[in-house]
Every structure is written in structure tokens, then in C-alpha cells.
């Protein structure tokens, strides 16, 4: 078997040959003759992603294997679905959507908690060639409205409620509020009624999910072009308007299928668990599509790492279902470590089947790395990727060759990704020198071909800074052994408990407060969540308001407009913001102060005392 270096080299030097071979891992209605053309992968190829994720496994004799295991400590229930059962449910749900007029190319917004119907809905859209857009449940009505207006769905699929450990989240009132705010009108909303809370349905527009599916005729798979979109997933950019990351059908199926074996070392029939949420890219790629494309059993977990009911929750799931590969965000492990530092809850469970722990979504701090690997005694693998890329850019590809691990590094670029560290002038940085992490074009299959209805923003955001390269937005360096170290975002995107947020979006909300003259929102280092947003606000001259009241109002406003997931809890009133003499807020310096890193006082600063004030507020 070839080692990492040989496989990597081939993927960069002969990408078409490399991906032609990988494309044999999926079923095509029309096999692609051309591998890459005009910036798109597999033009001319035709396939159906749902067929590849479900039908073909039934046809190949996996019908009785579990496809999906739903485990829900928040409802005290669990259920297994074989591939055959999943096929039946997906086909009927697709039939229901077709009956509502959804066809290839139409969009469907899915706003749902972590229930099997969310996965079934995604696959049902894929079956019809319809484009799904899943919106994370922790977003507020306003964020949902923005996505509905941009995606213009024919149908919205939702549920009566989501269940957080401390409270029920009634989704339907949020959806109704979003539809009131949005100018686009979907023809129908289909609502899954959960027993914990029933939703009122609007006559004529809303349908009860169970009734609608019961009466539906199963629908077959619609053949689509490899370059047709499978889904749009909105993610935070540097402004308040989210970016609609597009994923195509062909490149995505090929790349994800390839990644399951080569990055994760997962074989068909194995149990693979990504403890994330279907609202994020990790959920799309490694709860739903990756494991199912590979014929694995995937686990859908409606719970938390702690508090549902205790820090042994992950060990229970791993042991009960024989999980071979666990994937989550470092913050989940920090939460477990905080409540159970000695790992005593682990001792109640047989974890001998667990082979790898993969972590991503934010930087894996060496402390958490050591804690997890000492306790579990298995490789703990940091890997780095983004919503845009859809699958890992850098990882220890255990399915090719297990390389030695270095704490703090996601190891080396994954085959297909030509990672280059560039300085401000676009020259490559020597080993050890930090710069912008970029990927030399072409990007491999599975990565975003564009932003939904916004080709210009795609080019401007990702391709214009360094011609011929994709800009990741992360800073980092490569060491003498070729190991990549990703140090964090160099833009206004922050990562809160593995959730990606835009400080720009929070600033838009904070600035809308009538007493706020100007503000800057910065990600502050946080031991548990990695980062937390903190607002620094300057009040309008003469505002008589008490800063504590303003803070309370701003916290409530962000929660109401963006959602609880923003975890915005601090807004510090300051007398002025640090600025350059030309009036630009010194965000970068503020970010360094907030991150606890060394910072230099820029020579262009207008009033150095403004920086001191921020540093003192951060100290507090
Ligand atoms: N629907 C509605 N509300 C949600 C939600 C959802 N799907 N997910 C989170 N929220 C709410 C939480 O209830 C919380 O509300 P609160 O302010 O009333 O307490 C708020 O959003 C913030 O959530 P979170 O940042 O997740 O904090 P937490 O204290 O609830 O949990 C962790 C902390 C570490 C346990 C949790 O963040 C976690 O499990 N993270 C794993 C990360 C992950 O899955 N990342 C995905 C990429 S891999
Ligand atoms: P998202 O699009 O939500 O997956 O967030 C992507 C961003 O999360 C990246 O640009 C990084 O800033 C950060 N990130 C994800 N994985 C890692 C990792 N393994 N190490 C460091 N940062 C990471």
C-alpha cells in the first residue's frame, strides 16, 4: 500500500487521474468522461446522492444493517433504522415533497432539531434533486428569515419543538415570526408534531408531517448532473449577511466517500458517530452523507456531552452502539473534562471498540489533546476544515498511513489540498513563519463551487486576495516537517463552542440600540467555549442610561435577533474605541488583547489611552 507522501503527491500532480479513480467509489447514472472542466468537477456525469447513500446499500445486501441510530437522552428514547427502513421513509418523504410541487432544482428549508426526520428530509430532497438548506435550531427568527428570503424555498420543513436540557424551544412560533419578517412566502410548511409540545398549524399553509407522509406515494431517485447543487448551507461571513455555501452532487459524493476510508479509516458496516448537529457542516458531511455514502451506521445524538444526564453521556453512546470512530468539537471534551477531570464516568463503560477520536471545528488546545489521549489511550486526531471546504483540508489520514501526531497541529494537508502559507505580498512563507493559510487552485471535489446566487461575492471573498489561491481566512504556519499549525481566524469570524459566528453580524445588532453610538465586537478567549463574543460600546453623547441596563438590553437584543447560540453575555461601555488617525477601529489589536496574545501599539493610533481602556476591561 502506498504511504501518505506518494498518495498526496499524486493528488497534486495528477488530480484528474486521482479523482477519476476515487469516482469509481460511487454509482453513476452516466459516468463522467471528463473529470474537470471550467472549474467544475465531473461535468457530464449524472447520479443521485440519495441513491448512493441509501438505495445502493439495500441493493448490495445491507438492507438489514442499521443505517441510523437515534439516541435521545433529552426525550429518554432511542431507535434504530435499518437501511431498508430508511429507504422506505426517505422515499415516502420524497413523495410527500413531490406532492407539494417540489422538483429538481427547487429549494427546501429545513429548520429542525436533531431528530431522524431531519436526516430523512435531507435525503428526501437529494432524492428529488431538490436543494436543501438546513438552518441550525439555535438561530433566532430573524436569522431564519434572512435565510428564507435568500434561499426562496418552495417548502419549509420544521418541527413543533427542539429540546435543550433546561427548556423546550418551541420552533413553530419562531418559524411563524420568521415568515412574518421574510418577504418570500413558501407554499407550504410541514411540521413534525413532537409529543413534548404541539404546534398550531395555519390552515391551508401548514401540514402535519405524519399525515402528509402517511398518504404519500414513494418517490424514486431523480438523476441529476454532477454539477447540480445538492444543498446550500449558510455560514457566517465577516458581515451580517450569511454566505450560502453551495455543494454540488458529484464532487461531494466522490470526496465524502473517499474521505470516509482514507481520512477516517472507516469501513462499511462500522458505527461512525459525529457528535455535532445537522445544522452545521460537520452534521451534513459526517452525520448524514459521509457515513451513509460509505455504508456505515451513523449515530444521531439529541443530547449534550454533559448534563444529559452526566459527563458519561458520550461513553454510554460509544459503548452501547459499538462506536468505532467518534468525531466532535474540542469544546465538548473541555466540557466533559471540566465536570469529570479524572474521567471517572468512563470506567462504567466498555470503550474497547473505539479506535479513533477526531476533533475539529476549532483549534484543539494541547491540554485537551493530552487529557483525551491519556484517558482514552487511542489516537486523538485534530483535523482542520471549514463549511466552505465540506471535508478536511488537513488531517492525519489514518486510512492511508498513520503519521506521528504533534499536539497543536492537524498534521498535514489531506490529498487534494495544495496548502500554501502566504505573506502579505503573496510570497510563500518559509517553515515556521506565520502567514495566511491558502489553498492553491484547483480546490478538490466537494469544496464549494460558488456562493448561492452570488458568484461575485464568492470571487471577492475567497479568490481575489491571492490570485490562483483560495483564502481560508485562517492564519498559520508549516513547520520543518511539513506539519500545519492553524492559529485562528484573521478576519471577523469567531468560533464559540465550535459554532461559527460573525462579529460583524453581532455588531449590526448592537449598533441598532438607540443609545449606542459605535461598537466593536471581539472574540475573547474562553476556557470552555474557546471564544466568547464581547461587545465594547460607546454610548451616544449625553446618554443618561446606566451601563448595566444597556448591557442587559444588548444581551437580550442579540439573543432575540441572532439567537441563543451567539452566547453574547458581555457588553462593556467604554469612553472611546481605539482607532487609527484616519478613523479605522483597530480590531486586530483589540483581537490580540482579547485573545491574551502579545500586542504592539500601532504607530497609526490616534489615542493610545483608548487601548489601555480596552486592556483594562479585558483584564476585568
Ligand atoms: N436549538 C436551540 N437552542 C440551542 C441549540 C439548538 N439546537 N443549541 C444550543 N442552543 C442554546 C443553548 O441552550 C444555550 O442557551 P442558553 O443561553 O439559554 O443557555 C445557547 O444556545 C448557547 O449554547 P452553547 O454555546 O452550545 O452552550 P451550552 O452551554 O448549551 O453547551 C457545550 C456547551 C460545550 C456543552 C456545547 O456547546 C456543545 O456540546 N458543543 C459541542 C460543539 C458542537 O457540536 N459543535 C458543532 C461543530 S463540530
Ligand atoms: P466552520 O465553517 O464552522 O467549520 O468553521 C471553520 C473555522 O473553524 C475554520 O476557518 C477555523 O478557524 C476553525 N477550525 C475548524 N477546525 C479547526 C482546527 N482543527 N484547528 C483550528 N481551527 C479550526
Distance CA 127, CA 51 (A): 7
Query: Which atom belonging to ligand 1 lies closest to the Cα atom of 113?
Result: 7
Q: What top-level class would CATH report for the domain 497-619?
A: alpha beta
Q: Does any ligand 1 atom lie closer than 6 A to the CB of residue 567?
A: yes
Q: Strand 412-413 and strand 394-395: pairing?
A: antiparallel
Q: For 154-276, where are the E strands, in sequence order? A: 155-159, 161-164, 167-170, 188-192, 206-208, 224-225, 229-235, 243-248, 271-274
DSSP state of 271: E
Q: Which ligand is nearest to the CA of 386?
A: 2
**Cis peptide preceding 442, ω within 30 of 0:** yes
Which residue owns the Cα nearest ligand 1 atom 37? 497
Distance CA 542, CA 553 (A): 18
Which residue owns the Cα nearest ligand 2 atom 15? 361
Same fold, 4-303+383-476 and 497-619: no
Q: Which ligand is nearest to the CA of 364?
A: 2
Cα 241 to middle of ligand 1, angstroms: 22
Q: Does any ligand 2 atom lie closer than 6 A to the CB of residue 386?
A: yes
Q: What three-state secondary structure class fits 453?
A: coil
Per-residue burial over 585-600, b if 16 or more Cβ lie within 10 Å, else e, is: bbbebbbebbbeeebe
pLDDT value at position 522?
94
Is the whole model's pTM more than 0.75, yes or no? Answer: yes
Q: For CA atoms 110, 114, 118, 123, give the dihedral sign.
A: positive
pLDDT value at position 597?
80
Q: Does any ligand 1 atom lie closer than 6 A to the CB of residue 137?
A: yes
CB 239 within 8 A of CB 461: no
CB 533 within 8 A of CB 500: no
Distance CA 311, CA 319 (A): 14
Distance CA 106, CA 92 (A): 18
Distance CA 544, CA 205 (A): 47
Cα 499 to middle of ligand 2, angstroms: 9
pLDDT value at position 600?
84
The domain at 4-303+383-476 falls in which architecture?
3-Layer(aba) Sandwich (3.40)
pLDDT value at position 240?
76
Cα 319 to middle of ligand 1, angstroms: 24
Cα 533 to middle of ligand 1, angstroms: 14
Provide CB contacts within 8 A for 14, sequence distance 6+: none
pLDDT value at position 588?
86
Q: Does any ligand 2 atom lie closer than 6 A to the CB of residue 489?
A: yes
Mutation probe of ligand 2 site: the residue of 334, 363, 498, 531 with most atoms within 8 A of C-beta: 363
Q: For 497-543, where are the E strands, in sequence order? A: 499-502, 516-526, 530-539
Query: Which atom belonging to ligand 2 lies closest to the Cα atom of 280?
Result: 3
For the chain, give every domain's residue range: 4-303+383-476, 497-619
Taking the CA atoms of residue 147, residue 149, residue 155 and residue 158 in that order, the dihedral angle to the nearest 10 degrees is 40
Cα 69 to middle of ligand 1, angstroms: 22
Distance CA 317, CA 350 (A): 10
pLDDT value at position 122?
99
Distance CA 580, CA 607 (A): 8
Q: Strand 131-134 and strand 188-192: pairing?
A: unpaired
Q: Which residues of the chain have pLDDT under 50?
A: none
Q: Does any ligand 1 atom lie closer than 6 A to the CB of residue 277?
A: yes
Distance CA 80, CA 116 (A): 10
Cα 181 to middle of ligand 1, angstroms: 25
**Cis peptide preceding 309, ω within 30 of 0:** yes
pLDDT value at position 217?
97
CB 201 within 8 A of CB 191: yes
pLDDT value at position 462?
97
Q: Does any ligand 2 atom lie closer than 6 A to the CB of residue 360?
A: yes
The 3 state secondary structure assigned to 557-620 is: HHHHHCCHHHCCCEEEECCCCCEECCCCECHHHHHHHHCCCCCCCCCCECCHHHHHHHHHHHHC
Cα 288 to middle of ligand 1, angstroms: 20
Query: Which atom belonging to ligand 1 lies closest to the Cα atom of 563?
Result: 21
Average pLDDT, the chain: 96
Cα 7 to middle of ligand 1, angstroms: 38
pLDDT value at position 595?
82
User: How far, CA to CA in Å, does 296 sit from each of 121, 271, 358?
Assistant: 19, 6, 16
Q: Does any ligand 2 atom lie closer than 6 A to the CB of residue 112?
A: no
Q: Does any ligand 2 atom lie closer than 6 A to the CB of residue 495?
A: yes
CB 410 within 8 A of CB 384: yes
Q: Which long-range contacts (CB under 8 A, 24 or more apart) does 423-428 make?
A: 426/466, 426/467
User: How far, CA to CA in Å, does 91 sit from each of 134, 250, 265, 285?
Assistant: 19, 21, 30, 21
Dihedral pair phi/psi, residue 78, rounded to 5°: -150, 150
Q: Does any ligand 1 atom lie closer than 6 A to the CB of residue 330?
A: no
Phi-psi region of 330 (alpha: psi -120 to 50; beta: other; left: phi over 0): alpha
Taking alpha carbons only, the member of 415, 443, 440, 420 closest to residue 431 is: 420
Distance CA 68, CA 550 (A): 47
Amino acid at each position: 500500500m502506498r504511504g501518505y507522501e506518494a498518495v498526496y503527491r499524486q493528488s497534486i500532480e495528477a488530480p484528474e487521474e486521482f479523482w477519476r479513480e476515487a469516482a469509481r467509489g460511487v454509482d453513476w447514472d452516466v459516468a463522467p468522461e471528463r473529470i474537470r472542466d471550467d472549474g467544475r468537477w465531473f461535468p457530464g456525469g449524472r447520479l443521485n446522492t440519495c441513491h448512493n447513500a441509501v438505495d445502493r446499500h439495500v441493493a448490495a445486501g445491507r438492507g438489514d444493517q442499521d443505517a441510523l441510530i437515534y439516541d435521545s437522552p433529552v426525550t429518554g428514547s432511542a431507535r434504530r433504522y435499518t437501511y431498508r427502513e430508511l429507504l422506505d421513509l426517505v422515499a415516502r418523504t420524497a413523495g410527500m415533497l413531490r406532492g407539494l410541487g417540489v422538483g429538481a432544482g427547487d429549494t427546501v428549508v429545513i429548520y429542525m432539531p436533531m431528530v431522524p426526520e431531519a436526516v430523512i428530509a435531507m435525503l428526501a430532497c437529494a432524492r428529488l434533486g431538490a436543494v436543501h438548506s438546513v438552518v441550525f435550531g439555535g438561530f433566532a427568527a430573524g436569522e431564519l428569515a434572512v435565510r428564507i428570503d435568500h434561499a426562496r424555498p418552495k417548502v419549509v420543513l420544521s418541527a413543533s419543538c427542539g429540546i435543550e436540557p433546561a427548556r423546550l424551544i418551541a420552533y413553530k412560533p419562531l418559524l411563524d415570526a420568521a415568515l412574518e419578517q421574510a418577504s418570500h412566502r413558501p407554499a407550504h410548511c410541514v411540521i413534525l408534531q413532537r409529543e413534548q409540545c404541539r404546534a398550531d398549524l395555519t390552515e391551508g399553509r401548514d401540514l402535519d408531517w405524519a399525515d402528509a407522509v402517511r398518504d404519500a406515494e414513494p418517490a424514486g431517485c431523480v438523476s441529476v448532473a454532477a454539477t447540480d447543487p445538492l444543498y446550500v448551507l449558510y455560514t457566517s461571513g465577516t458581515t451580517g449577511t450569511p454566505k450560502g455555501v453551495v455543494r454540488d452532487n458529484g464532487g461531494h459524493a466522490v470526496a465524502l466517500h473517499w474521505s470516509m476510508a482514507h481520512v477516517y479509516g472507516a469501513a462499511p458496516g462500522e458505527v461512525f458517530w459525529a457528535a455535532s448537529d445537522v445544522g452545521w457542516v460537520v452534521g451534513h458531511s459526517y452525520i448524514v452523507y459521509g457515513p451513509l455514502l460509505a455504508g456505515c451506521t451513523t449515530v444521531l445524538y439529541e443530547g449534550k456531552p454533559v448534563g444529559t444526564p452526566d459527563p458519561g453521556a458520550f461513553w454510554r453512546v460509544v459503548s452501547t452502539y459499538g462506536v468505532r470512530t467518534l468525531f466532535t468539537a474540542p469544546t465538548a471534551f473541555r466540557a466533559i473534562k471540566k465536570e469529570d477531570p479524572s474521567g471517572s464516568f468512563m470506567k462504567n463503560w466498555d470503550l474497547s471498540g473505539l479506535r479513533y477520536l477526531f476533533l475539529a471545528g476549532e483549534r484543539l488546545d494541547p491540554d485537551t489533546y493530552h487529557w483525551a489521549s491519556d484517558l482514552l489511550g487511542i489516537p486523538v486526531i485534530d483535523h482542520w476544515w471549514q463549511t466552505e471546504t465540506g471535508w478536511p483540508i488537513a488531517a492525519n489520514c489514518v486510512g492511508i498511513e498513520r503519521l506521528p501526531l504533534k499536539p497543536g497541529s492537524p498534521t498535514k494537508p489531506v490529498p487534494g489540498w495544495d496548502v500554501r502559507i502566504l505573506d502579505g505580498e503573496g510570497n510563500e512563507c518559509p517553515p515556521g513563519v506565520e502567514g495566511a493559510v491558502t489553498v492553491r487552485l484547483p480546490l478538490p471535489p466537494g469544496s464549494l463551487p460558488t456562493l448561492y446566487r452570488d458568484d461575485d461575492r464568492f470571487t471577492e471573498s475567497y479568490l481575489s486576495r491571492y490570485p490562483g489561491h483560495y483564502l481560508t481566512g485562517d492564519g498559520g504556519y508549516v513547520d520543518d516537517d511539513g506539519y500545519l499549525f492553524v492559529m485562528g481566524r484573521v478576519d471577523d469570524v469567531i468560533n464559540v463552542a465550535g459554532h461559527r459566528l460573525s462579529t460583524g453580524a453581532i455588531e449590526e445588532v448592537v449598533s441598532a440600540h438607540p443609545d449606542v453610538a459605535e461598537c466593536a465586537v471581539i472574540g475573547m478567549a474562553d476556557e470552555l467555549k474557546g471564544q466568547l463574543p464581547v461587545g465594547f460600546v460607546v454610548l451616544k453623547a449625553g446618554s443618561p442610561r446606566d451601563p448595566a441596563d444597556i448591557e442587559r438590553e444588548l444581551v437580550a437584543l442579540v439573543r432575540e435577533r441572532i439567537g441563543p447560540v451567539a452566547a453574547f453575555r458581555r457588553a462593556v461601555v467604554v469612553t472611546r474605541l481605539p482607532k487609527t488617525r484616519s478613523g479605522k477601529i483597530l480590531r486586530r489589536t483589540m483581537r490580540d488583547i482579547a485573545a491574551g496574545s502579545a500586542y504592539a501599539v500601532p504607530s497609526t493610533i490616534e489615542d493610545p489611552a483608548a487601548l489601555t481602556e480596552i486592556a483594562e476591561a479585558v483584564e476585568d
